[in-house]
């Protein structure tokens, strides 16, 4: 039996040549390109529909990609926030311990000073509106008494002329004098006196005397200032009033009156 594979093709019969042609055509038809597919789609009139479907699919893929990326980002952020942290109450209640090895034991001890609440508040004294009395004691002087009550010495003299006269040295232990609320003068109302004359003598206006509350003078019943209805012997305080000033010096008592000395040049 003769082997046909060793026989050249030129000597093969025509039937054998026809058997080999379909195999070559099948191998050629197996390789189909994208252009061929697209041409077939266009041939059936589905080109526009295919483009729309492809665009929609691409959009969905892009949206899904964005959602995935954002979810990954927020997931990492939540994990970082979920890390355990110490509560604020624990931080506030945690005692801080200091090493007091080289410190003064008094300074590093737990001793503390508590300030006692003061129930009484020291307030400055309110200004007086009425006159008070003062009894002179041994060693007092008009200057010392005036300084004690924050007054001028001449104000004490003008307020006590009915007791001291015009001499500031007429003060003796046991004598009671008047202390005005502030600098001014005191006048004891006498028969025949008038507000105009008294005010002029003490260099004030009649209204200053009438309007002083402690004098208790009512304009409705006072009448004429020249002959006012004021009881005889009533004490009137004259605010900021002053009389005739006489030169007088404070008297000094000497332990050895027989001994004298001269100072200065």
Query: 59 and 146: one domain?
Result: no
Percent of the chain with pLDDT over 90: 38
The answer to the question of residue 196 being in a domain is yes
pLDDT greater at residue 187 or residue 263 = 187
The pLDDT tens digits for 175-191 are 999 999 999 999 999 99
pLDDT at 87: 58
Q: pLDDT at position 44, please?
A: 77
Token pair recorded at residue 225: 């200032």
The larger pLDDT score, comparing residue 5 to residue 200, is at 200
Mean pLDDT of the chain: 75
- Highest-pLDDT range among 120-124, 151-155, 246-250: 151-155
Whether 221 and 142 share a structural domain = yes
- Specify if 117 maps to a domain: no
Which pair of structure tokens corresponds to residue 219? 């304009």
**pLDDT-derived band of residue 89, with 50, 70 and 90 as boundaries?**
low
Predicted pLDDT at 179: 94
Same domain, yes or no: 147 and 227: yes
Same domain, 141 and 58: no
Residues 139 and 216 in one domain: yes
Contact by Cβ (8 Å): 138, 91? no
Q: How many Å apart are CA 61 and CA 248, to the nearest integer?
A: 117
For residues 127-153, average pLDDT: 89
Q: Which domain holds residue 50?
A: 4-78
With b for 16 or more beta-carbon neighbours within 10 A and e for fewer, the 231-260 pattern comes to: eeeeebbbbebbbeeeeeeeeeeeeeeeee
Q: What share of the chain is helix, strand, coil (3-state, %, to 5)?
A: 40, 5, 50
Is residue 149 domain-shared with residue 226, that is, in the same domain? yes
Q: How confident is the model at residue 122 (pLDDT cuts 50, 70, 90)?
A: low
CATH number for position 189: 3.10.350.10
Asked whether residue 74 falls in the same domain as residue 136, the answer is no
CA 224 to CA 221: how far, in whole Å?
Answer: 9
Query: Is residue 68, in this structure, part of any structural domain at all?
Result: yes
Residue 119 in any domain: the answer is: no
Q: Kindly state whether residue 113 falls inside one of the protein's structural domains.
A: no
Residue with more model confidence, 79 or 173: 173
Please indicate, yes or no, whether residues 144 and 227 belong to a single structural domain of this protein: yes
If one compares 38 and 255, the residue with the highest pLDDT of the two is 38
Q: Is residue 16 situated within a structural domain?
A: yes
Q: Find how far residue 75's CA is from the centre of its chain.
A: 46
């Amino acid at each position: 039996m003769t082997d046909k594979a060793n026989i050249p093709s030129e000597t093969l019969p025509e039937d054998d040549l026809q058997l080999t042609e379909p195999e070559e055509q099948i191998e050629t038809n197996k390789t189909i390109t994208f252009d061929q597919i697209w041409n077939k789609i266009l041939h059936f009139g589905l080109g526009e529909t295919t483009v729309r479907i492809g665009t929609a699919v691409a959009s969905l893929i892009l949206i899904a990609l964005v959602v995935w990326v954002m979810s990954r980002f927020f997931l990492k952020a939540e994990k970082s926030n979920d890390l355990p942290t110490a509560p604020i109450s624990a931080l506030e209640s945690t005692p801080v311990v200091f090493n007091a090895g080289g410190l003064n034991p008094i300074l590093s001890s737990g001793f503390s000073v508590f300030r006692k609440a003061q129930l009484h508040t020291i307030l400055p004294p309110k200004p007086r509106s009425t006159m008070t009395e003062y009894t002179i004691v041994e060693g007092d002087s008009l200057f010392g008494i005036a300084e004690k009550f924050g007054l001028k010495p001449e104000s004490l003299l003008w307020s006590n002329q009915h007791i001291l006269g015009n001499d500031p040295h007429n003060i003796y232990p046991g004598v009671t004098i008047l202390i005005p609320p502030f600098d001014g003068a005191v006048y004891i109302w006498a028969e025949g006196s008038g507000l105009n004359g008294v005010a002029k003598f003490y260099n004030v206006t009649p209204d200053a005397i009438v309007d002083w509350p402690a004098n208790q003078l009512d304009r409705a019943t006072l009448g004429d200032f020249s002959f006012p209805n004021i009881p005889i012997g009533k004490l009137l305080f004259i605010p900021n009033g002053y009389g005739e000033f006489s030169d007088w010096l404070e008297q000094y008592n000497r332990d050895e009156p027989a001994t004298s000395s001269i100072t200065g040049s």
